[in-house]
Amino acid sequence: MNLEKIMSDLEKKNPGEVEFLQAVREVLESIQDVYNENPHFESANIIERIIEPDRVLMFKVSWVDDSGKVHVNRGYRIQFNNAIGPYKGGLRFHPSVNLSILKFLGFEQIFKNSLTTLPMGGAKGGSDFDPKGKSNAEIMRFCQGFMLELWKLIGPETDVPAGDIGVGGREIGFLYGMYKKLARENSGVLTGKGLNWGGSLIRPEATGFGAVYFAKEMLATKGETFKGKTVCISGFGNVAWGAALKATELGAKVVTISGPDGYIYDQDGISGEKIDYLLELRASNQDIVKPYSYEFPGAQFHQGKRPWEVKCDIALPCATQNELGKEDARTLVTNGVQCVAEGANMPSTPEAIEVFLENKILFAPGKAVNAGGVATSGLEMSQNSMKLSWPLKEVDERLHHIMCSIHDQCVKHGKGKDGYVNYVKGANVAGFLKVANAMIDQGII
């Protein structure tokens, strides 16, 4: 594989798409050896075919706010690869959304979905719409406008979107209502649905729970557990709250959460009624981080800072991409961090990952650690197809089993001669092999 040539061609074709190029480079670097050992990949030109999305839909969403003002946002759906199953991946509503970010997320999703052991292809979508500060009615009108375009492209057997940043249960509800009306069907076309209308138990907390199950397996390779450990978490969204809940349940103390404006340090631990309080704020669309420090006087708010300066045993970045840089990684290592498991997608910069790997820290990438979310979405799709609803215990056990299986795949493909597991390599190789072989089986299409 001529990595530099591939990357320079890709850059010419996709100028300025920094996040997408970063994600592709990371995958290609890790799969180089296995790719070179299998000449049939090269003869089928797998790399060029896998880094080009199957299709990209970009559309206009016009909507009216409560004062009567008309707004225009841009909507997207990237259907990246469906070699192993229907396209599957979340929708992100955030002002930072652009083609590069969604292409990076869609590309990552191919390998993540492959790791889950379930038949799901990779996709991603969203809009630069900002749900923050909008009324329920405004969010509903935007979601309806968004679905008016998207519905033509998706379906329970073709493409099944879900939530991501800015898209939770409320938005999925509005999107689903509009899809149902347009398509005239009640089907599992979206996941993350409400429990009363086709949703799965555990789905809201699945990504965070799965991340902690994965980190538990990482720690077990060193004979360690969560019990008595100090945990730093960033963000406090869909992923972070599930992670905080499960880490606490396993006997750890979570001492930080964060938002774009800074982080909270609470040495007494963020658990129980404190998490309930945060979830209430979140549900009412309010700022979370600052009010926490007023409500619980033991806690300190650190304006404009990231939680990685706090001494901890386990770090779970659960907010957004590139939120943990080289200096943060160095500080974590100096402070004795044992395990870094990415709840978010690509939260660590390539330079930060290098620091973790050089120091032989247990480090695992988002596509393995946070795959529990999409895996449980896959379980929701199965339940919808069968018109059944599995009990909580069954979904949780399946999720746990899937996370252990992802961990096993990472160890199988990532363990070096010295016994150190490079989870980045393990996840990329395992995810790639399945998709690449499926593409070869299905011919040039």
Report, as residue numbers or ranges, the catalytic residues. Answer: 124
Both tokens of 264, joined, read 């909270």
d(CA 243, CA 254): 9
- Out of 239, 254, 324, 421, which residue is the one contacting ligand NDP (CB under 6 A)? 239
Q: Which is nearer to ligand NDP, 74 or 170 (CB)?
A: 170
Instruction: Answer yes or no whether residue 238 interacts with ligand NDP by CB under 6 A.
Output: yes
Instruction: Answer yes or no whether residue 104 interacts with ligand NDP by CB under 6 A.
Output: no
Instruction: Answer yes or no whether residue 164 interacts with ligand NDP by CB under 6 A.
Output: yes
* Minimum distance, C-beta of residue 343 to ligand NDP, in the bound complex (Å): 6
- Helix (H) / strand (E) element for 371: namely helix 371-386
Q: Which is nearer to ligand NDP, 106 or 163 (CB)?
A: 163
* Minimum distance, C-beta of residue 42 to ligand NDP, in the bound complex (Å): 32
83: left (phi over 0), alpha (psi -120 to 50) or beta: alpha
Give the start-end residues of each E strand in 342-402. 362-364
Q: Give the three-state DSSP class for 360.
A: coil
Under rule CB under 6 A, which residues in 189-218 are in contact with ligand NDP? 207
Instruction: Answer yes or no whether residue 113 interacts with ligand NDP by CB under 6 A.
Output: no
Instruction: Answer yes or no whether residue 163 interacts with ligand NDP by CB under 6 A.
Output: yes
Number of residues that bind ligand NDP (CB under 6 A): 25
Instruction: Answer yes or no whether residue 242 interacts with ligand NDP by CB under 6 A.
Output: no
Both tokens of 275, joined, read 């998490």
DSSP letters for 82-143: -SSSSEEEEEEE-TT--HHHHHHHHHHHHHHHHHTTS--EEEEEEES---TT--HHHHHHHH
Instruction: Answer yes or no whether residue 248 interacts with ligand NDP by CB under 6 A.
Output: no
What is the DSSP secondary structure assignment for residue 81, as one 8-state letter?
A: E
Q: Which is nearer to ligand NDP, 100 or 207 (CB)?
A: 207
Instruction: Answer yes or no whether residue 122 interacts with ligand NDP by CB under 6 A.
Output: no
- Which of these ranges, 162-170, 223-231, 381-389, 393-401, lies near ligand NDP under the rule CB under 6 A? 162-170
Radius of gyration of the chain (CA): 21
Closest residue to ligand NDP, based on beta-carbon distance: 237
Instruction: Answer yes or no whether residue 100 interacts with ligand NDP by CB under 6 A.
Output: no
Q: Which is nearer to ligand NDP, 347 or 426 (CB)?
A: 347
Which of 198, 157, 178 has its CA nearest to residue 63?
Answer: 178
For 65, half-sphere exposure in the C-beta direction (CA atoms, 13 angstrom radius) is 12
d(CA 238, CA 164): 8
Q: Which is nearer to ligand NDP, 24 or 105 (CB)?
A: 105
Under rule CB under 6 A, which residues in 287-306 are in contact with ligand NDP? 288
Instruction: Answer yes or no whether residue 258 interacts with ligand NDP by CB under 6 A.
Output: yes
Instruction: Name every residue whose Cβ is closer than 8 Å to that of residue 82 and which is 6 or more positions away in sequence.
Output: 54, 121, 122
Instruction: Answer yes or no whether residue 317 interacts with ligand NDP by CB under 6 A.
Output: no
Instruction: Answer yes or no whether residue 97 interacts with ligand NDP by CB under 6 A.
Output: no
Both tokens of 296, joined, read 């619980």
Residues forming contacts to ligand NDP in the complex (CB under 6 A) are 163-166, 207, 234-240, 258-260, 288, 318-320, 323, 343-345, 370, 373
